[in-house]
Amino acid sequence: MEEIHEKKRIDMVKLKKTGAIVLPSIFTIANMAFGFFAILLASEGRFVQAAWFIVVSYAMDMLDGRVARLVHGESSFGVEIDSLSDWISFGIAPAYMIYKLALKDYGMWGYPVAFLYVLCGALRLARYNVKSHFGGSDKDYFQGLPIPGAAGVMISFVLAYSMLEGEGGTRSIPQVMALMPYVYAAIPFIVVTLALLMVSNAPYAAFKGDKVKLSSIKGILLVTAVLSLVVAYPQDAMFVFFSIYALSGLIGGVYNAVRGKPATA
């Protein structure tokens, strides 16, 4: 009788553990799905809708990690499937969208530019996974621009630029709108720069350590200010903040090089 009870207890533990792994994976798969749908929308020339679908992928990507920690469902499987989803949603989808919007105008030269971004995104995720498995990651800083940050620059550009075409809203920041034609002209250079930043050693704030803590008073004020601007000017504010984040690591890398500090772990 005791053996039967023990077997039932072990089965229940296994079932709970399986459920704890499956639950966050649902959000991970949703992240992948919205990224894939964004590719389909971009293929039809519906760039604004595609960009917003990738924004939803961001929400799913944030939720899967938080749910995994909440139910203690972290696993090697979760890390791998999360990276595959990120590669589709923040690597392939934005690269294809930017190609269809702007890079196609450069003929065959647009192919290697788009592929370089996809390749560097895959390398960035692979490096992150290796560090995660062997405990070499830094809680304060990422090494290289995270792929969601790189994708954010491109999708926020699409959303901001769309307002010049009379799509996607009317609330805009005049100074940002004035820059959009120049940003459009510099798209190949921007995509290559984002790709190289992903595989660089430039330090980027992780917002989960002690040095840059969002739960502190300063962090709460920062988040409040960012959200207020995003609510007031959704497309333009996202472009400004993602661009500042991308530039922050570049500036930090130059600063560390001048000061002779070692690269971020």
Contact 24, 68 (CB under 8 A): yes
Closest CA to 196 of 137, 161, 239, 150: 150
Euclidean distance between CA atoms 151 and 93, whole angstroms: 9
Q: Is residue 265 part of a domain?
A: no
Using an 8 Å Cβ cutoff, are 202 and 249 in contact? Answer: yes
User: Which residues, listed in sequence order, are joined to residue 98 by a DSSP beta bridge?
Assistant: none
**Segment 29-40, tens digit of pLDDT:** 999 999 999 999
Computed over every residue of the chain, the mean pLDDT equals 82
pLDDT on residue 136: 59
Considering the domain boundaries, does residue 264 fall inside one? no
Question: pTM (2 decimals)?
Answer: 0.83
Apex 260 CA angle, 257 and 264, nearest 5: 70
- Domain coverage including residue 31: 2-259
User: What is the rounded CA–CA span in Å between residue 53 and residue 31?
Assistant: 9
Nearest to 64 by CA among 44, 81, 46, 39: 81
Establish if 85 belongs to a structural domain: yes
**Domain-embedded: residue 178:** yes
Maximal CA-CA distance, the chain: 77
Query: Is residue 196 predicted with pLDDT exceeding 70?
Result: yes
Q: What confidence tens digit (pLDDT) does each residue in 116-162 have?
A: 999 999 999 999 888 877 765 666 788 899 999 999 999 999 999 98
Domain membership of residue 34 (yes or no) is yes
Asked whether residue 45 is domain-assigned, the answer is yes
Among 15-24, 123-132, 206-215, 234-243, where is mean pLDDT lowest?
15-24
48 falls within a domain: yes
CA–CA separation, 2 and 14 (whole Å): 18
How many domains does one find in the chain?
Answer: 1
d(CA 149, CA 207): 13
Q: What is the DSSP letter of 213?
A: -
CA distance 205 to 202: 10
Quick check: is 25 in a domain?
yes
Sorted by sequence, the CB contacts under 8 Å of residue 150 that are 6+ apart come out as 90, 94, 117, 121, 194, 195, 197, 198, 246
